[in-house]
Structure 1
Amino acid sequence: MNECLGHFYIHNGILKDTKNFDDSFLSSPHYIYEVFRVIEGVALFLEDHLERLEETCRLAKHCPGFDSSELYKLVVLLIEKNKLDTGNIKVVMRKTHDGMPELRVYITEHQYPTTLQYTRGVDLLLFKAERPNPNAKVMDVKLRNATNYVKQQKEVYETLLVNAEGCITEGSRSNVFFIRQGKVITPPVEEVLPGITRKYVMEVCRASGLEVVEEKVPARSLVVMEALFISGTSRKVLPVKKVDDLDFDPNHPLMQMIREAFDHRVADYIRKHKKSHS
């Protein structure tokens, strides 16, 4: 897998040839990062991602060296120079060995769900783990490697993290929502990474008249859930057909309505921002 794609990337504000890209920072135990999706040349929900990046820097007590307005311009520049229509962009911030802030902005590989996965749903597995600072998007290499290994060994799409209380918090790379008796349930924001897709899913649910409840979800309560789905930058709204040995309805009517409403919100954003990105 190539970490950096395209012809150009940005290092500390300077446009460089990807032939010179150094990915040694990936072995760092912790680094701050943000990933967002580009559709039709538009960085989706870019303002929200940059706001979350600022919040992560605050929580991690990291001085980024660049503000959101500067980063916004760098992202637009990267899209223009690479003539990027579709893909994912990653922003990485860290401190070098001498304590200086370092910034990389680049196109990274992506894996979007297939049409079949959206139709039939995906398999998940419960995994006992929790992130120490869930509201901050800081790479936890040890946890990422552990969940990747389990997913590969068990041939599942994603793992759902279960904390010490026995409650489901989030996916290793996603947020999770449950449907029961007409309600949409998701774990409390204090216990998860506040995903950008999560935010807009909750907005479209409420705009559609659905009740959205943030509450703890014990793993044992899965048996009473009618359906569930995961959300994320690359996944958008992705139905789940199985968690461990429990089967769920990947075509639940409420879930289909949420998927369509979210896709409309994405289309609206792209239409409104195409001019500013052109």
Structure 2
Amino acid sequence: MTECLGKYFMRNGKLLETNGFQCDFLSRPHYIYEVFRVIEGIPLFIEDHLERLRQTVRLSGLQEDSVPGDFFEQVSRLVEANELREGNIKVVVLPGEGDEPADFMIYVMEHQYPTKEQFIEGVALALHQGIRQNPNAKVMDVGLRSNANAIKHEQQVYETLLVDEQDCITEGSRSNVFFVYGQGLITPPIEDVLPGVTRKHVVKLCRDLGIPLSEQKVPESSLAEMEGVFITGTSRKVLPAFRIDAWLYPPDHPIIRRVQQAFNRQVKRYLDGAVAKNPLG
């Protein structure tokens, strides 16, 4: 897998050719990162991603100026230089040694989006014993990600759901999770998960739609009572699941379809608004 795509990447404010990109940081056990999606040449919800990146930097004890003030401009330069219309962009912040400033990189990364069939028929999920040490910060945990990838390969599932030491489901290895229960939805508490940007928009959309939403612990033992499930994420949007281990769920539950449709409309509104008012400007 190629980590950096396109002709150019940004490093500390400079536009450089990708043949000079070094990915040795990938072997570090932890590093700060952010990923956002570009659709029709527009970085989707970029303001939310910048807010989360700054939060992660604060929670990790780095100086706030580790994220440059001209972040939007750097992203714009990268998108234009690579003539990027569709894809994912990754931001990496590497702490400097001693008094050295942080190393700040922005680049186009490989992506894999769900197929039309998966959005309709759902995907398979598997449970995975594991926790994030600092769940509210988007810090790469290479060991956790490696274990999740191994389970996905061995069990031929799309995603794994993390289960903590209290046997409660928290989040996916690369996603947040929502469960249909009765006339509403349940999702694990914000303090236990990475506050996903898509999750944030889904929570607000549920309020707007009048869909009851409760943030509460989800014991593994309660899976038999759930009536549907979907995961959310930058690449996944709102993606239904038809199975978690041996538990089966209808991917076309009416509540899931309502949320899917509402989120797709929200994306369109954002893109339409960005054409009139460039958020990078």
Instruction: Tell me the CA shift for residue 100 of structure 1.
Output: 3.4
Match of 1:11 in 2: 11
CA distance in 2, matches of 1:59, 1:30: 14
CA distance in 2, matches of 1:112, 1:13: 29
Aligned Cα RMSD in Å? Answer: 1.3
Is 2:178 the counterpart of 1:177? yes
SS at structure 1 position matched to 2:259: helix
Is 2:187 the counterpart of 1:223? no
CA distance in 1, matches of 2:118, 2:38: 21
Is 2:121 the counterpart of 1:120? yes
Match of 2:81 in 1: 81
SS at structure 1 position matched to 2:140: coil
Instruction: Tell me the CA shift for residue 85 of structure 1.
Output: 0.5
CA distance in 2, matches of 1:42, 1:69: 20
SS at structure 1 position matched to 2:139: coil
CA distance in 1, matches of 2:63, 2:148: 29
Instruction: Tell me the CA shift for residue 196 of structure 1.
Output: 0.2
Q: Contact between 1:35 and 1:91, CA under 8 Å: does it hold in 2? A: yes
Q: In structure 1, what residue type is equivalent to 2:208?
A: A
Identity of aligned residues (%): 49
CA distance in 2, matches of 1:184, 1:232: 17
1:54-65 paired onto structure 2 within 5 Å: 54-63=54-63, 65=65
Q: Contact between 2:66 and 2:101, CA under 8 Å: does it hold in 1? A: no
Question: Over residues 133-182 of structure 1, what are the superposed CA-to-partner deviations in whole Å (9 max), with x where a residue is unaligned?
Answer: 00000010010111111111111100000000110000000000001111
1:97-246 paired onto structure 2 within 5 Å: 97=97, 99-246=100-247
Rate the CA distance shift 1:242–1:67 in 2: closer, same or farther, 3 A.
same
Instruction: Tell me the CA shift for residue 87 of structure 1.
Output: 0.3
Instruction: Tell me the CA shift for residue 65 of structure 1.
Output: 3.7
SS at structure 2 position matched to 1:271: helix
Q: Contact between 1:64 and 1:93, CA under 8 Å: does it hold in 2? A: no
SS at structure 2 position matched to 1:139: strand
CA distance in 2, matches of 1:53, 1:43: 15
SS at structure 2 position matched to 1:31: strand
Question: Over residues 232-268 of structure 1, what are the superposed CA-to-partner deviations in whole Å (9 max), with x where a residue is unaligned?
Answer: 0000000000000110000001100100000000000
Bigger mean CA deviation after superposition, 236-245 or 76-85: 76-85
1:38-49 paired onto structure 2 within 5 Å: 38-49=38-49
Q: In structure 2, what residue type is equivalent to 1:217?
A: V
Instruction: Tell me the CA shift for residue 69 of structure 1.
Output: 3.9
Q: Contact between 1:50 and 1:68, CA under 8 Å: does it hold in 2? A: no
Tell me the TM-score normalised to structure 2 length: 0.96
SS at structure 1 position matched to 2:137: coil
CA distance in 2, matches of 1:138, 1:45: 20
Question: Over residues 78-111 of structure 1, what are the superposed CA-to-partner deviations in whole Å (9 max), with x where a residue is unaligned?
Answer: 1111111100000000124555310110000000
Instruction: Tell me the CA shift for residue 68 of structure 1.
Output: 5.8
Q: In structure 2, what residue type is equivalent to 1:94?
A: L
Question: Over residues 50-98 of structure 1, what are the superposed CA-to-partner deviations in whole Å (9 max), with x where a residue is unaligned?
Answer: 0000000000002254446411111111111111110000000012455
CA distance in 1, matches of 2:66, 2:41: 23
List alignment gaps of at least 5 residues for structure 1: none
CA distance in 2, matches of 1:59, 1:243: 32
Match of 1:31 in 2: 31
SS at structure 1 position matched to 2:252: coil
CA distance in 1, matches of 2:69, 2:122: 38
